[in-house]
Amino acid sequence: MDVIRLPNQLGPKLRAARMQRGMTQADVARQLGISSQAVSKLENNAGQASFDRVHRLCLLLGLELGLQEKSTGTPKTVKSTTPAKAAW
């Protein structure tokens, strides 16, 4: 499993999206099958996560995950047509 370092701006966006949906860290943790502490670390940019975990979190919170190729610098957006709840 590949582990990625999260960009600094991602944590606050995750927190804002979670709070906008009226969810607690415990709610998110329960739906992702991880601990509340892991959610807190992601929101505070204090940890690393697998791409799968970040992708599932973004799906749950209705966020698009933009990726950038090193060679061209061209942004790529990963969009899923699968509803977030069906992903778990």
Query: Which tens digits make up the pLDDT trace of 11-42?
Result: 888 999 999 999 999 999 999 999 999 999 98
Gap between the Cα atoms of 68 and 71, Å rounded = 9
Residue spans of the domains in the chain: they are: 3-82
Instruction: Supply φ then ψ for residue 64, to 5 degrees.
Output: -95, 145
User: For the residues 72-77, what does the mean pLDDT come to?
Assistant: 55
* Homologous superfamily in CATH for domain 3-82: lambda repressor-like DNA-binding domains (1.10.260.40)
- pTM exceeds 0.75 for this model: no
Of all residues in the chain, the percent with pLDDT exceeding 70 is 66
